[in-house]
Amino acid sequence: MSAPGSWPASAEALEHLQRELASARPPDWQPPSRDYAIGGCFVCFARRAPGPGARGEPGWAGAAILLGGGILTTAVVTGHARAAYEPGLLALREGPLLEAAVRALEREPEVLLVNATGRDHPRGAGLALHLGAVLGLPTVGVTHRPLLAHGAWPAQEPGSRSALVLGRETVGCWLRTRPRTRPLAVHTGWRTDLDTACAVVLAAVHRVRAPEPLREARRLARRGRAGL
């Protein structure tokens, strides 16, 4: 496999690496019985022109760690989009900024939540999985909707889940984290299976449906964009 520590510079190179990452089978990570450090990262861009997003736009990436029920440490970095937005190729655009934000944290998380998909992807390796390979960290993708997979919503009880299927493979699930709220799409990432992915998300959910470190990372990125 190509060295995962660098981000490809072209769509062709990225697609090749994504296929390699999709076929990799590193050992699964299991959450420890004690409290563990759950990270989250999020990136946002300031668009200068109409459209889904262009190369060179300013970007802000936030990262945060939840430990013992509270946010332990945070970081924000700035940079620029290295590519225009294109579904399935987010790593070209967002990967380096997200990596920089996580590496800027004062300590390393034990597992990382990413606002991106994992195996729900045209080549089986979305940004949540790819970022984990680059950082050497187990990762879980958390999104509001799937990319290509499909599945019915789960029951209303918190913790209920239902499969998200792509072809014949279960690549994630809908997970109900709070009653009477929309479920989240949870994606297996680097070194995580579906049971572990759901356990990490539920451990990171407190007052609202979204995991706390991912919410904090999003807040930090958006505050950076606003100049606060």
Task: State the CB neighbour count (10 A cutoff) for residue 60.
Answer: 23
Q: What is the pLDDT of residues 48-78, one digit of tens each?
A: 656 778 899 999 999 999 999 999 999 999 9
Mean pLDDT over 65-92 rounds to 96
Q: In what order do the strands lie in the sheet with 38-45?
A: 70-80, 58-67, 38-45, 111-114, 139-143, 184-188, 169-175, 161-166
Residues 6+ apart with CB under 8 A from 117: 126, 127, 128, 141, 143, 146, 147, 172, 185, 187
Q: What is the pLDDT of residue 3?
A: 39
**pTM above the 0.75 mark?**
yes
**Out of 4-18, 185-199, 205-219, which region has the weakest mean confidence (pLDDT)?**
4-18
Identify which of 217, 215, 109, 126 has the alpha carbon closest to the alpha carbon of residue 172: 126
Tokens 């297996």, located at residue: 188
Banded pLDDT at 185 (limits 50, 70, 90): very high
**DSSP secondary structure code for residue 6 in this structure:** S
Q: Is residue 228 over pLDDT 50?
A: yes
Nearest by Cα to 104 from 78, 82, 128, 86: 78
**Beta-strand relationship, 111-114 and 38-45:** parallel
Write down the domain spans for the chain: 40-226
Residues paired with residue 169 on neighbouring β-strands, in sequence order: 166
pLDDT of residue 52: 77
Q: Which residue matches tokens 């680097």?
A: 190
Angle at 27 between CA 214 and CA 210, to 5 degrees: 15
Report the pLDDT value the prediction gives residue 1, as an integer from 0 to 100: 34
Q: Which two tokens stand for residue 2?
A: 């190509």
**Among the CATH numbers 3.30.70.1060, 3.30.2170.10, 1.10.150.20, 3.40.190.10, which is that of 40-226?**
3.30.2170.10
